[in-house]
C-alpha cells in the first residue's frame, strides 16, 4: 500500500459493485486478520478519508501517525485526539494518533 505511484500497484482487481471510481483495494496476505479475512480476500475502501462520527465502532483502513497501515475497528481513545484500535485476533492498540482512516466499503472473498 502506497509503495507505488498512483495506478502503479502490483496487482489489478475488478472494481466493486456500484463503484464510484474512488475506491482503493487492498489484498489480504497471510492470516493476521483471521477469522474475518483470509489470504487473498480483497478489501475496498474510499480513498477519501471519513469523518470521526462515521468511523467510531466501524471497521476501517487506518494509517497511524507512525506510518503503519492496518484494518482495525476504531474506538475513542482515553485522550482527546487518540484512538484505540481493535483487532480480530490481537490485543488492542491503545491511544494512538491517526493520520487518516476510511471505512471498509466492500469485501471480495477469495
Within a domain: residue 11?
A: no
State the DSSP string of the chain: --SSSTT--S---PPPTT--S-EEEEE--SSTTTTT--TT-EEEEESSPPPHHHHTTSEEEEEETTS-EEEEEEEE-SSTT-EEEE-SSS--EEEE-EEEEEEEEEEE--
Structurally, the chain folds into a number of domains equal to: 1
Within a domain: residue 81?
A: yes
Q: One digit per residue, pLDDT tens: the chain, 110 residues?
A: 444 555 555 677 888 888 888 888 988 888 877 899 999 999 999 877 778 888 999 999 999 989 888 899 999 999 998 999 998 888 999 999 999 999 999 999 98
Q: What is the residue range of 63's domain? A: 23-108
Within a domain: residue 8?
A: no
The reported pTM is: 0.82
> Domain with 84 in it: what CATH number?
2.10.109.10
Amino acid at each position: 500500500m502506497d509503495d507505488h505511484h498512483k495506478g502503479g500497484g502490483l496487482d489489478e482487481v475488478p472494481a466493486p459493485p456500484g463503484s464510484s471510481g474512488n475506491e482503493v483495494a487492498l489484498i489480504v496476505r497471510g492470516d493476521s486478520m483471521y477469522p474475518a479475512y483470509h489470504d487473498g480476500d480483497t478489501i475496498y475502501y474510499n480513498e477519501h478519508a471519513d469523518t470521526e462520527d462515521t468511523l467510531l465502532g466501524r471497521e476501517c483502513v487506518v494509517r497511524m501517525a507512525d506510518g503503519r497501515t492496518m484494518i482495525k475497528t476504531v474506538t475513542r481513545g482515553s485522550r482527546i485526539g487518540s484512538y484505540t484500535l481493535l483487532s480480530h485476533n490481537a490485543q488492542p492498540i491503545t491511544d494512538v494518533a491517526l493520520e487518516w482512516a476510511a471505512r471498509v466499503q466492500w469485501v471480495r472473498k477469495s
